[in-house]
């Protein structure tokens, strides 16, 4: 089973700043099948990025994903008030599918 | 647009069976992986497994011995049964539509339902 480690655990930033979130896999993720999700309190997660770098439908271009192999990054170029949330990565290249522990982006 | 809604008991006794249903509205079952995911403070997000629209299943090995998923295409719903539950199965359970490799691109999700295992 692939273990995903997200860092940092919490990121304290101000609106307008750039956020860089990391997701590291314990082994290479097949074909870069890595997704990112955003979750706000009381809500289900929402798909942001799939295939490491493809934005899901309706996701603004302020969100971008990059990386390959074992190291992946989610970047939010300019934080809007609605972007403060918890972000999870998930690999779907091998079964069982696994999630990271999450990074909370909070208002500084 | 497609919407998913979980339903089932919010409280299950230890050693009994947890049964949940996810009703799909606004779209067809065909062509997708119908997935269950759970979330708890102690275990985070955990992939439970999926049932493909053809009926093929893929379960998390950690739950496989206790898990059954089924599909009812006539009613546009799919279901989960987890036997011999313990407190460790207490979680918010989500259903989701998946596509892509192993159906790992989940969109949309249901709103989630809290299931508590307690006597």
Chain A residue with Cα closest to B107: A47
CB contact under 8 A, A47 and B107: yes
Q: Is B44 on the interface with A (CB under 8 A)?
A: yes
Q: How many CB atoms lie within 10 A of CB A85?
A: 18
Determine the 3-state secondary structure of A99 from DSSP. Answer: strand
Nearest to B113 by CA among A44, A10, A26, A50: A44
- Residues of chain A short of pLDDT 50, as ranges, are none
Which residue carries 């994903």 as its tokens? Answer: A65
Residue B42's pLDDT is 86
Cα dihedral B66, B33, A46, A56 in deg (nearest 10):
150
Tell me which H or E stretch contains B71: strand B67-72
Phi, then psi, of B65 in degrees rounded to 5: -70, -15
Cα A106 from Cα A68, distance rounded (Å): 27
Q: For chain A, what percent of residues have pLDDT higher than 70?
A: 100
Query: pLDDT 10s digit of each residue in chain B, 119 long?
Result: 999 999 999 999 999 999 999 999 999 999 999 999 999 998 899 999 999 999 999 999 999 999 999 999 999 999 999 999 999 999 999 999 999 889 899 999 999 999 999 99
Residue A68 has a pLDDT of 97
Q: Does B101 touch chain A (CB under 8 A)?
A: yes
In this complex, which of A56, A90, A94 lies closest to B107 when CB atoms are compared? A56
Residues of chain A in contact with residue B104, where contact means CB-CB under 8 angstroms, are: 33, 35, 50, 90-93, 97
Chain B residues closer than 8 Å to A95 by CB: 58, 102
Using CB atoms within 10 A of its CB, is residue B3 exposed (0-12), middle (13-18) or buried (19+)? middle
* Alpha-carbon distances, residue B107 vs A12, A45, A50, A69, B57 (angstroms): 28, 9, 11, 24, 19
From A39's Cα to the closest Cα of chain B, the distance in A is 11
Specify the pLDDT at position A104. Answer: 98
* Cβ distance of A50 and B94 shorter than 8 Å: no
Give yes or no for a contact between B6 and B79, defined as CB atoms under 8 angstroms apart.
no
Q: What is the pLDDT of residue A36?
A: 98
Q: What is the DSSP string of A27-62?
A: SPPGGG-EEEEEE-TTS--EEEEETTTEEPTT--TT
């Amino acid at each position: 089973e692939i273990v995903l480690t997200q860092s940092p655990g919490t990121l304290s930033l101000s609106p307008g700043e750039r956020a860089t979130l990391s997701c590291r896999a314990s082994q290479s993720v097949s074909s870069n099948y890595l997704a990112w999700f955003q979750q706000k309190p009381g809500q289900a997660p929402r798909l942001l990025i799939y295939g490491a770098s493809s934005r899901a439908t309706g996701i603004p271009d302020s969100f971008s994903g990059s990386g390959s192999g074992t190291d992946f990054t989610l970047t939010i170029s300019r934080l809007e008030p609605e972007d403060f949330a918890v972000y999870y990565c998930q690999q779907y290249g091998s079964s069982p599918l696994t999630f990271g522990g999450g990074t909370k982006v909070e208002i500084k | 647009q497609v919407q998913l809604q979980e339903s089932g008991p919010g409280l299950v006794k230890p050693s009994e069976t947890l049964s949940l249903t996810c009703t799909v509205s606004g779209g067809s079952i065909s062509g997708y992986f119908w997935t269950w995911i759970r979330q708890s403070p102690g275990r985070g997000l955990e992939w439970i497994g999926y049932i493909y629209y053809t009926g093929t299943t893929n379960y998390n090995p950690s739950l496989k011995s206790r898990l059954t998923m089924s599909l009812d295409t006539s009613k546009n719903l799919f279901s989960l049964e987890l036997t011999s539950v313990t407190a460790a199965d207490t979680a918010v359970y989500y259903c989701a539509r998946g596509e892509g490799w192993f159906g790992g691109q989940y969109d949309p999700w249901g709103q989630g339902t809290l299931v508590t295992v307690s006597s």
